[in-house]
Structure 1
Amino acid sequence: MIKEIYSLIKEMLSRLFSSRLFALALIFTGLFCILTVHLFRLQIMNGQSYLENYQKNTEQNIVLPGTRGNIYDKDGKLLAYNELQYNITIADTGAFSGNTKGINKRNLMLKKLADIIEKYKYPVKSQFKLTLNDDGNFSYSTNSDQERLRLLANIFRKEPDKLSEKEKDSTAEECFEQAKKLYNFHKLTDEKGSPINLSDKTALDMIGIIYTLRLTSYQRYMSTTIVENVSRECMAEVLESKYDLPGVDIENISVRKYNYAPYLSHIVGYTGQVQESQLEELKKIDASYDLNDTIGVWGLEKSEDLILKGKKGYKEMYLNNVGSIMEVISEEKPMAGNDIYTTISANDQISIYHLLEQELAGILASKLTENNELDQSELKQSQLMIPVKDAYYQLINNNVLDKEHFFSEDAGNAEKEIAGKFISNKEEMLNRIEDVLKKESGGELSALPQEMQGYMVYIYDYLLSKNGGIVDPEDVRFKSSDAYAQWKNDAISLHAFLKKGIEEGWIDTRKLSLDTEYSDTDEIYALFVNKIMDYLRSDSGFNKLLYKYAIAKQSISGNLLLMALFEQNVLSQDPVSYQALSGGDAHFAFTFLLDKIRKIELTPAQLALDPCNGSVVVTDVKTGKLRALVTYPGFDNNRISDSDYLKKCNEDLSLPLLNGATQTQLAPGSSFKPISSVASLEEGVITTDTIIDCTGKYEEVTPNIRCWIWPSKHGNENIVDGIKNSCNYFFADLGHLLATDSSGNYSADLGMERIQKYASDFGLDEKTGIELDETKPRISNYDPERSAMGQGNHAFNAAQLSRYITAVANSGSVYKLSILDRIVDPRSNTIEEVAPVLEKKLSYNDTTWNTVHDGLRKVITEGVAKNVFIGQSIAVAGKTGTAQEREDRGNHAVFVSYAPYENPEISVTVNIPYGYSSGNAASLANMVYDYCFGKLSMDTILARDASSINSVTVSD
């Protein structure tokens, strides 16, 4: 029995071990044991360690930006605020591998994104500072050579100081091609492996996206804004394509908006994204600044950025491998920035801005003449006139008319006629220029017609420019060449000049593609002529020069240009006037132009003739707080992030981006004479009884100084008379007396030391303290006689002159100027009242103050400005100032003043560059006083034009 059982067991075991199922069972049992061991090790023995590593890999800190504070005017009107908008953002989520296939997938995604962006015609917010111009060529858009080298270093993956000379000299096109290679865009294929050819625009957008993203130092999940303020349609398309656009999202954020542009644009300023070159310096101020931050770039937005920007929040979270939030660990909410209330009144800014524009328009209209062949060589600067041809040319030169539209299919009849005349004239002129350049003998500059001289000088400037790079103007061989000296004397042709340069080696022949290693002078010269002609055919500056001469010759008439203003909707449609202009009557065109200027339908800023800009500063005499700080023209700070608009502003000859009130430095002219009066009385070189006999010509210095009244004379004058009459002789003598010591010894240094001391007393040696970008003033450092008159090399802006005349008005209290009233937290609690800052109190003799005040009042009641202020019931005291800078342009016009005379409340300072005469500045100040004291309403100002305003000549 036992034997049978044993045999049975043996047989069963034999069958079992020989069975395939047994073998599989053993294998699976072994695998299960191995798995059990591994699970025990992963979960029990090393579980905590793996969990910590997992959390470390997916834990992310997200920065939440704070809301920027608002800016208000003194009356609580909102000047700067935040508005919700939709932006396209991109982040590196790790969705693409680093192999060839992954890179191609990434690039396909970038192309799809760029296609959507281009479909809706949005610009990419790119840190890749390259621009594709309208002509299809690339150019750098960096602000400095340092920024350009940093860009190249990033593209060549080197430190800036490790770049080779060839890499440093890379053209914009070469930089673009290198970037395409860096990001493998030149190898882009579709899903089937077929090559994809990218347009330059698409490739540039793709480069801009990835380059900007890479500047975040490869911080995964950190989003970067690449397109701002997209439409709902664009937003919907991006969201619908999210599956194909990993890392791309729509972000709704608060963006900065501005009211009352252009009236307050220079004060409020604007914001922009932090630039790579700024980041290091910003972090020294506040470590929380980051490359994606929005910061103040100009105006109060810049100076008060730390107050306005608020505090960032942070969110710590776990993300899965596609970037979705799994768990929020901790969160710190962002804090809004504080609000700022200014001392500026929006109504005052608007009203005075229009008064200034009307004054400029009136002066401009009164200076235009139909006589295009004026001889103005013997005229004073206040008497200069503007030929109407210059006004017509400015329609082209200052881009009032779109020249490209002349050649478009939908161009109007006048535009098409202009285009036809331009093309035929250009071909004719190019042929003539080429003939002159090829002419072996003759062709000296002085022997050429004036128009051809202009073209030759233009070519010469191109040769020496950075763009041309053919002649290095600092090359010693060039400067010592006879050809250079002859060119300066108009005694050599451009043909001979260039050949001489080739022979002497200061012409850079590397700019040419020479077929042989050794070429003779004639062959090289012929290549240079071809290069010059190719440049002229495509150069926009040369096109403008062609327009200038065509308009001067009336081959392109003013009538056609004015008709084009209607066709391009620069002027409101007026069929009657359009038809009248089409008759070709030049006189009608002139009167039509004058009418449009006086009605300010064509503004001084558009025409950019003299005068086209100016500034007015109204200051509280008792506090130094500003009531108005007006600069004309302004700009739209809501559009400044638009590259096309920014380019237009930068090219505008009226300089809208310049804050004239704080940055335009001009000689003060006779407005400086009160300081010389104070210096003379306080130093004891004269008394109130001192009499100086003005003979009309001051002969104590060489060259002699002529009083403005010459060949007449003022005769005997005391100090009050000298101020009242703005007598140059009198103040030249004061400068001379200040330079003479008690022993009768003359020292120009002593005179300048005294003048500088008293100018410094009034704050003219430093910035005003105003919370805006400001140019540092300059007190003259030579010629005490002329410096005492306000000449020499003094240079002050309107704000600095306002600070000085305010101190005169209050008899010696020198305040720091300010446009800040108070700081308010987001809950409307005042956290700081910005108090007036009295920097110093001038302890001058009461007699000094009384004498100067008396003289300044008599300037208005009896003196040089008497005719301007006839009928003014407000007691104004002030001083005119006329300063000459160039003989071929009008004088600068300055007026400093305060009122009421007995108890001054405000000072008004006016500065009009190339305003012909200080009477024009005084005339504007007179209207500003009417407005400030309620005699002229804002509605009245807005309803009127410049028809009643003419240039006013005041001699000083």
Structure 2
Amino acid sequence: MFDEIKENIIKFITSRAVIVSFVLFTLACVMIYRLFSLQVINGEYYLDTFKLRIKKEKTIAAARGNIYDRNGNLLAYNELANSVTIEDVYKSGSGKNAAINQTLNSLIDIIEENGDTVDQDFNIVLNESNEYEFKVTGNSLLRFLADVYGHTSVNDLKYEEKTKTPENVIDDLCKKFGVGEYETPGVSSSFVARRGYTNDRALKILTVRYNMDSNSYQKYIDTTVASDVSDQTVADVMENLGMLDGVSIEESTARKYVDSQYFSHLLGYTGKVSEDELAELQQISSSYGINDTVGKSGIEQAMESVLQGTKGSETVYVDNTGQVIETSNYVDSIAGNDVYLTIDKDLTEACYDIIEQSLAGILVSKIQNVKTYTYTETSSSSSIVIPIYDVYYAIFDNDVVDIPHFAEDDAKDTERAVYEAFISKNASVLANLREEFEVTKTPYNALTSEYQWYMSHIAAMLYSDGVINSSLVDKEDDVYVAWTTDETISLTEYLKYAIAMNWIDVSKLSIDNQYADSEEIFAQIVDYTINELSSDYDFQTRLYKYLLLEGTISGTQVCNLLLEQGKVTLSDEEQGIWDRGGETAYSFMTNRISNLDITPAQLALDPCTGSMVVTDVNSGDVLAIVSYPGYDNNKMANGVDAEYYAKLRSDNSNPLYNYATQQKTAPGSTFKIVSATAGLTEGVITTDSTIFCGGIFDKLDHPPRCWIYPSGHGNLNVSGGIRNSCNVFFYEVGYRLGLLGNSYSSETGLEKLAKYADMYGLTEKSGIEIAESEPSVSDQDAVRSAIGQGSHSYTTIGLARYVTTIANSGTCYNLSLIDKTTDSNGNLLEEYSASVRNTIDMPQSYWNAIHLGMRQVVQDKSYYANLGVNVAGKTGTAQESKSRPNHSLFICYAPYEQPEIAIATRIAYGYTSSYAAQITKEALAYYFELRDEDDILSGTARELQDGATNAD
């Protein structure tokens, strides 16, 4: 029996189950011991020494190539800088959005406390009214919306997505990224977008979150929060890294521009690549990625493939906080190539300063110490004056002073007084408008000019906000005509009629009852209007105009605002005179303009813009291309300064617009050289034939007149026609060009004019490498088109190519801005030159007649006497609006005997072509070194001869 028990025990012990169980038990004991050792005995040691190693492949951005002028002067370069970045190292889950947003909120506080700015390269911005608006339009806007709502094609956008307002898009993104708060914690249905955030802060956080989301398919890829930050920001971020998960400081380069305002339109700026740009660039090189910085405009964009270097790479190991712990497989980047331009830096800057000084001189000469100027049908453009009160108002209207600061706690005496006046006026006007809507109902034509502006503004606002659905409005309706054209009814009457006709979109109003009657809808429109006006920046700024005109705010107070806010500073002597009352507000302001303490661009009064292009006659190189005013493209590159960009967008002088390459106006009498060429070549005139000018051209119904009417020029040959800019002479040329036998055909004349305009390159863009508007050759009225009227419309750069062709007697170039490219070591890669577009084959006698007429034009200008170089040119004026001054144009070349350079100058709303001619004279004096540079570039307003005449 004992042996049997023993045998059973041995069988049990040696059974597979027992052995397996014993092994498992032993292993469990070992594991328990090991876990005890790891977590209890050595837990603190391992916790201190633990590092999570995450491998990632990282690209190394290449340094962008430099840009130089023709003489090797640096225009654009790179500078070592630090950027604040964030990586998505956050755990997925319900708390992820809140964690990232909290980190970003704290990070933005640190960045802004040190005076740095968050990059805001986003397609929604804040305007002056603190309201969201789209930065793009058209197809670009649809592409943006498609990206926001996750569509690969704009065709996939739903109607409600296409019609989203900027605020709708912001709210949708806020909900997606959790930027807001719950009304009741834990109840997702009560989430309120943006709650707890200002509009500005919500936009900044969304910009970063949107960019992070774009990188979401590449985990541990940096997203830049702020570029080119200060050392103090670096120190503060590093100090707080423990609470800023995923945040790091990355060494990078910042794009810098020398004397930026002079070259901003030419050079452009860099920025983060957009989806559309990326798709286009990847067709050229697959190396482009979603986080790349590329040229956004100007030469930076045109020469992107040259300036962009070759990326490097490395393998990086990071810990659980995103900090780099090891790198390997390092491949260095290759710097981009350098670009040399044809332009001359010093000449360009001189031309820009000459334009600014001259514009200031024109303004000072036109400003009068009156409150208003009334334009009448009998007024001439040359007689338009600038009331000093328009200057005072411009200080508010173009944000020369910081209006929001009036309400700040540290506002000074004048600021507080002006703000109190504004508050009172605002309340009064809103109350009066409500009474006007509900009680008075004054017909528009019986309102004061002040309240007419208010009503027009309100109507425009209701249309733009969609309260009045313009697609439903019948433009032929009698009531609509009575409001818009006849102006015989009140806005109240029009709105009530619009309600009855179902032109109102009630979804835009706060109406709960879907069966609301017309009176309730009207009441809601009034409430909506008053509420919107309370935050309408344009409306509120306009109130200062009427505060000035009614005397509630004085010109002296406007001057004091400039002093209190430090917008202008005076010498101790000048300040003493002002404090003692020894200077009037009128003289204070004109002196500030004369000294360029306040620039024409800041005032944005006519004239405040100008452009000039200087070319090499014999090569087609552009030596200078100037658009005034410019802007600081340093604030546009390396992450857009949103506040600065918003100010540029709202600036009435439109500094983002390239007036040299994009503004098109009629050429005025500068076009007469084309007509002369057509007339001579087509045989309708000869160099010896004459045409009689009696002051009126009587071969058409409604006969057009010469500028000299009721006098006449008498008999003129082609040189005399150009010299005297005789309209009748060129009316006759245009008429003869249209003759078919004995009958006149305007279409035939237009075809011939277009043919010769094409020979001078006026039918196509000029050939320069940066963006340019398409020209327009007139397609109406050959007779008037022959003197530069009709529908002709050309850019300054287009006119520069035109006069270059005249100067060299027939070689029409495709103009160029690029001289050569080199590698980063200065080795030549490629030389560029302007190509010949076509040549005009015309007898030299014809050219001689044209050149002689242009030389005589300049000889007749007293201000060109004793210049020191002989100049040939042609003036031109172009009327765009009867209530604004004419555009001023001048084209020329010099020296007359052997031309070297040609210049085209345009001063928009510049009164008379004489001004453009005098401005050009200063540029010629600088180029040929005919006067002391300090005399030409005085830094103060330049007094110009009035020379008001229609002789062009």
TM-score exceeds 0.5: yes
Residue 931 in structure 1 maps to residue 926 in structure 2: yes
Corresponding residue number in structure 2 for 1:789:
787
Corresponding residue number in structure 2 for 1:896:
891
Cα distance in 2 for residues equivalent to 1:944 and 1:60:
56
Deviates most, 544-553 or 619-628: 544-553
List per-residue Cα deviations over 1:138-180 (Å, max 9, x = no partner).
5144413655555555555566655554455444444444334
Corresponding residue number in structure 2 for 1:424:
424
Corresponding residue number in structure 2 for 1:872:
867
Cα distance in 2 for residues equivalent to 1:939 and 1:413:
40
Structure-to-structure mapping, 1:453-532, within 5 angstroms: 453-465=452-464, 468-477=465-474, 479-532=476-529
**Offset, 1:322:** 7.0
Question: Residue 105 and residue 501 in structure 1: after superposition, are their counterparts in 2 closer, same or farther (change >3 A)?
Answer: closer
Counterpart residue type for residue 818 of structure 1: S
Structure-to-structure mapping, 1:650-661, within 5 angstroms: 650-661=649-660
Larger-Rg structure: 1
**Offset, 1:341:** 1.3
Counterpart residue type for residue 880 of structure 1: T
8 Å Cα contact 2:120/2:641 also seen in 1: no
Question: Residue 247 and residue 519 in structure 1: after superposition, are their counterparts in 2 closer, same or farther (change >3 A)?
Answer: closer
8 Å Cα contact 1:363/1:950 also seen in 2: no
Counterpart residue type for residue 688 of structure 1: T
8 Å Cα contact 1:71/1:80 also seen in 2: yes
Structure-to-structure mapping, 1:588-667, within 5 angstroms: 588-640=584-636, 641-667=640-666
2:849 pairs with 843, 848, 851, which one? 851
Question: Residue 573 and residue 705 in structure 1: after superposition, are their counterparts in 2 closer, same or farther (change >3 A)?
Answer: same
Deviates most, 488-497 or 203-212: 203-212
Corresponding residue number in structure 1 for 2:249:
250
Question: Residue 904 and residue 892 in structure 1: after superposition, are their counterparts in 2 closer, same or farther (change >3 A)?
Answer: same
List per-residue Cα deviations over 1:32-62 (Å, max 9, x = no partner).
69999xxxxxxxxxxxxxxxxxxxx976432
**Offset, 1:663:** 1.1
Unaligned runs of 5+ in 1: 37-56
Q: SS of the residue aligned with 2:261?
A: coil
Corresponding residue number in structure 1 for 2:43:
none
Counterpart residue type for residue 545 of structure 1: R
8 Å Cα contact 1:604/1:611 also seen in 2: yes
Question: Residue 108 and residue 329 in structure 1: after superposition, are their counterparts in 2 closer, same or farther (change >3 A)?
Answer: same
* Superposition CA RMSD, Å: 3.4
**Offset, 1:880:** 0.6
Residue 386 in structure 1 maps to residue 386 in structure 2: yes
Counterpart residue type for residue 98 of structure 1: S
**Offset, 1:942:** 3.2
Structure-to-structure mapping, 1:758-773, within 5 angstroms: 758-773=756-771
Q: SS of the residue aligned with 1:693?
A: strand
**Offset, 1:398:** 1.0
Residue 730 in structure 1 maps to residue 729 in structure 2: yes
Cα distance in 2 for residues equivalent to 1:356 and 1:310:
37
Deviates most, 263-272 or 890-899: 263-272
**Offset, 1:848:** 0.8
2:132 pairs with 132, 135, 139, which one? 139
**Offset, 1:306:** 0.7
Corresponding residue number in structure 2 for 1:779:
777
Question: Residue 426 and residue 32 in structure 1: after superposition, are their counterparts in 2 closer, same or farther (change >3 A)?
Answer: closer
8 Å Cα contact 2:470/2:503 also seen in 1: no
Counterpart residue type for residue 356 of structure 1: I
Cα distance in 2 for residues equivalent to 1:804 and 1:512:
55
Question: Residue 489 and residue 575 in structure 1: after superposition, are their counterparts in 2 closer, same or farther (change >3 A)?
Answer: farther
Corresponding residue number in structure 2 for 1:52:
none
Question: Residue 571 and residue 726 in structure 1: after superposition, are their counterparts in 2 closer, same or farther (change >3 A)?
Answer: same
8 Å Cα contact 1:77/1:346 also seen in 2: yes
**Offset, 1:529:** 1.5
Deviates most, 515-524 or 638-647: 515-524
Corresponding residue number in structure 2 for 1:916:
911
Cα distance in 1 for residues equivalent to 2:219 and 2:512:
53
**Offset, 1:611:** 0.9
Residue 740 in structure 1 maps to residue 745 in structure 2: no
2:119 pairs with 119, 125, 138, which one? 125
Cα distance in 1 for residues equivalent to 2:101 and 2:13:
59
Cα distance in 1 for residues equivalent to 2:805 and 2:543:
52
2:747 pairs with 743, 746, 749, which one? 749
1:544 pairs with 537, 541, 546, which one? 541
8 Å Cα contact 1:692/1:730 also seen in 2: yes
Question: Residue 786 and residue 88 in structure 1: after superposition, are their counterparts in 2 closer, same or farther (change >3 A)?
Answer: same
Structure-to-structure mapping, 1:146-165, within 5 angstroms: 165=159
List per-residue Cα deviations over 1:698-756 (Å, max 9, x = no partner).
11123211111111111111111111101011111110011113x33321111111111
- Count of aligned positions: 918
Q: Percent identity?
A: 37
Question: Residue 508 and residue 840 in structure 1: after superposition, are their counterparts in 2 closer, same or farther (change >3 A)?
Answer: same
Cα distance in 1 for residues equivalent to 2:666 and 2:528:
44
List per-residue Cα deviations over 1:236-292 (Å, max 9, x = no partner).
333344444443221111110010121122212211111234322222233222211
Cα distance in 2 for residues equivalent to 1:775 and 1:142:
21
8 Å Cα contact 2:816/2:833 also seen in 1: no
Corresponding residue number in structure 2 for 1:907:
902
**Offset, 1:431:** 2.1
List per-residue Cα deviations over 1:346-402 (Å, max 9, x = no partner).
111121211111111111111111233544422321222111211111111111111
Residue 443 in structure 1 maps to residue 442 in structure 2: yes
Q: TM-score, normalised by structure 2?
A: 0.90
Structure-to-structure mapping, 1:160-309, within 5 angstroms: 165-184=159-178, 198-200=196-198, 203-309=202-308
Counterpart residue type for residue 589 of structure 1: A
1:27 pairs with 22, 28, 34, which one? 22
Deviates most, 192-201 or 597-606: 192-201
Question: Residue 91 and residue 853 in structure 1: after superposition, are their counterparts in 2 closer, same or farther (change >3 A)?
Answer: same
Cα distance in 1 for residues equivalent to 2:572 and 2:419:
22
**Offset, 1:674:** 1.1
**Offset, 1:343:** 1.8
Counterpart residue type for residue 252 of structure 1: E
Cα distance in 2 for residues equivalent to 1:679 and 1:280:
46
Q: TM-score, normalised by structure 1?
A: 0.89
List per-residue Cα deviations over 1:647-703 (Å, max 9, x = no partner).
111111112111111111111111111111111111110111211110001111232
Cα distance in 1 for residues equivalent to 2:379 and 2:801:
35
**Offset, 1:326:** 8.3
8 Å Cα contact 1:563/1:582 also seen in 2: no
Unaligned runs of 5+ in 2: 32-52
Structure-to-structure mapping, 1:357-376, within 5 angstroms: 357-376=356-375
Question: Residue 578 and residue 472 in structure 1: after superposition, are their counterparts in 2 closer, same or farther (change >3 A)?
Answer: farther
**Offset, 1:339:** 0.6
Deviates most, 827-836 or 365-374: 365-374
Question: Residue 97 and residue 125 in structure 1: after superposition, are their counterparts in 2 closer, same or farther (change >3 A)?
Answer: same
Deviates most, 150-159 or 801-810: 150-159
Corresponding residue number in structure 2 for 1:333:
332
Q: SS of the residue aligned with 1:680?
A: helix
Q: SS of the residue aligned with 1:661?
A: coil
1:802 pairs with 795, 800, 824, which one? 800
Cα distance in 2 for residues equivalent to 1:229 and 1:384:
48
Question: Residue 211 and residue 590 in structure 1: after superposition, are their counterparts in 2 closer, same or farther (change >3 A)?
Answer: same
Question: Residue 478 and residue 584 in structure 1: after superposition, are their counterparts in 2 closer, same or farther (change >3 A)?
Answer: farther
Question: Residue 129 and residue 872 in structure 1: after superposition, are their counterparts in 2 closer, same or farther (change >3 A)?
Answer: closer
**Offset, 1:82:** 0.2
1:88 pairs with 84, 88, 104, which one? 84
List per-residue Cα deviations over 1:626-660 (Å, max 9, x = no partner).
11112211111111221111111111111211111
Question: Residue 28 and residue 385 in structure 1: after superposition, are their counterparts in 2 closer, same or farther (change >3 A)?
Answer: same
**Offset, 1:509:** 2.5
Cα distance in 1 for residues equivalent to 2:393 and 2:316:
63
